[in-house]
Amino acid sequence: MVEPAAIDVDDDKPLDPEVENIRRRMMRLLVVSFGSMLIGLMAVLGAIVYKINTAEDDVAPATNVQQLVPGELAKGNINLPKGATLVSSSLSGLQVLLTVKYADGSLHLIVFDMKNAKIVADYTVTQ
* Structural domain boundaries in the chain: 4-53, 59-127
Cβ(99)–Cβ(109) below 8 Å: yes
pTM of the model: 0.44
> Strand 85-92 and strand 107-113: pairing?
unpaired
Write down the pLDDT at residue 2. Answer: 59
Whether 74 and 93 have beta carbons less than 8 Å apart is answered as: no
- Each residue's pLDDT tens digit, 49-103: 998 888 654 445 455 555 556 677 777 778 787 888 999 999 888 889 999 999 8
- What average pLDDT does this structure show over 29-34? 97
Question: Is 117:123 a contact under the CB 8 Å cutoff?
Answer: no
Which residue did the predictor score with more confidence, 123 or 5? Answer: 123
> Alpha carbon of 92 to those of 2, 45, 75, 88: distances in Å?
78, 32, 18, 14
